[in-house]
């Protein structure tokens, strides 16, 4: 009975998570862990670090972790009853989700499903309220699309994660993602608001082979969907399609003073 309930629980989690990972090439297990631990990102990061689960991992890397932690997955659950997929990739993603569920625990899976139900209920109420309102007449002002904004992505990373980055240089999406993954503190706000941040930095050269903490500020055009995000994987997911930014600030931190508004990983 208990096993059957776990099958149902894990299948329900998979149904919710699958649309978010179906086309993802790397970091599937890492992403699922962070999705389930939606409110406890630091715990997810700790488990991922301990088990060497990386955001850059290929499906083959994730498969090895699955095989290492679940010695014979087909004996753990009667997969034919709950996962009748003919698609081999979908089956593989299912087992990655099962492993993530196992690592995060039954309670976290349950809380995640409750959270998704609340989100859907809220959206349904909002949709009903909107549909019940009278249609906008031609004389009434029409709501304009959301304004395009430049996002200021502010990160604290170790110096050895900087690579060849230089102030005022362009940075592509893959390098931005790597910096996000390496961040110990992060904040994404509007460009104008970033001038109110005052991290304590120094003028010394950045020793790229050290663990010194470095402050990086990147301006990203059309980055409005990133602004205010407090979860790293959601931040990455909302990077604009053009995938480029400009490094506006790059300096060693003197101390952690001035980071009070930042999200800590």
Residues 25, 31, 185, 103, CA torsion sign: negative
What span, in angstroms and rounded, lies between the C-alpha atoms of 153 and 247?
9
The SS3 assignment for 233 reads: helix
Q: Where are the domains of the chain?
A: 2-108, 151-264
Token pair recorded at residue 12: 């329900």
pLDDT on residue 39: 67
Token pair 């715990």 is found at 43
Range 144-153 average pLDDT: 74
Q: How confident is the model at residue 151 (pLDDT cuts 50, 70, 90)?
A: very high
End-to-end Cα spacing for the chain: 38
The helix (H) or strand (E) run that includes residue 182 is: helix 173-182
Least confident span in 65-79, 143-157, 169-183, 191-205: 65-79
Q: Express each pLDDT in 89-120 by its tens digit.
A: 888 888 888 888 888 888 888 888 888 888 77
The helix (H) or strand (E) run that includes residue 172 is: strand 170-172
Query: Which phi-psi region, left, alpha or beta, contains residue 202 (left: φ > 0; alpha: ψ -120 to 50)?
Result: beta
What span, in angstroms and rounded, lies between the C-alpha atoms of 44 and 234?
14
Helix, strand, coil percentages in the chain from 3-state DSSP, rounded to 5:
50, 15, 40
Token pair 């297990």 is found at 29
What span, in angstroms and rounded, lies between the C-alpha atoms of 182 and 160?
10
Token pair 């499903």 is found at 113
pLDDT at 136 over 70: no
Q: Express each pLDDT in 182-203 by its tens digit.
A: 999 999 999 988 888 989 999 9
């Amino acid at each position: 009975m208990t096993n059957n309930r776990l099958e149902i629980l894990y299948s329900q989690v998979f149904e919710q998570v699958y649309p978010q990972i179906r086309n993802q090439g790397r970091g599937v297990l890492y992403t699922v862990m962070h999705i389930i631990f939606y409110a406890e990102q630091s715990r997810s990061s700790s488990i991922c670090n301990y088990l060497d689960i990386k955001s850059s991992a290929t499906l083959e890397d994730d498969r090895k972790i699955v095989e290492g932690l679940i010695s014979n997955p087909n004996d753990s659950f009667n997969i034919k009853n709950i996962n009748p997929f003919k698609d081999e990739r979908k089956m593989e993603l299912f087992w990655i989700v099962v492993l993530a569920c196992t690592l995060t625990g039954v309670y976290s899976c349950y809380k995640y499903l409750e959270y998704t139900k609340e989100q859907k209920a809220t959206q349904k109420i909002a949709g009903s309220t909107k549909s019940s309102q009278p249609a906008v007449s031609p004389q009434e002002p029409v709501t304009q699309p959301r304004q395009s904004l430049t996002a200021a992505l502010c990160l604290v990373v170790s110096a050895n994660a900087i690579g060849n980055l230089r102030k005022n240089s362009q940075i592509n999406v893959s390098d931005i993602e790597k910096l996000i993954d390496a961040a110990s503190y992060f904040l994404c706000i509007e460009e104008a608001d970033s001038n109110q941040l005052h991290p304590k930095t120094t003028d010394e050269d950045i020793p790229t082979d050290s663990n010194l903490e470095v402050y990086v500020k990147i301006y990203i055009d059309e980055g409005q969907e990133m602004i205010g995000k407090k979860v790293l994987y959601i931040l990455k997911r909302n990077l604009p399609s053009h995938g480029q930014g400009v490094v506006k600030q790059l300096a060693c931190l003197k101390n952690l003073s001035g980071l009070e508004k930042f999200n800590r990983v």
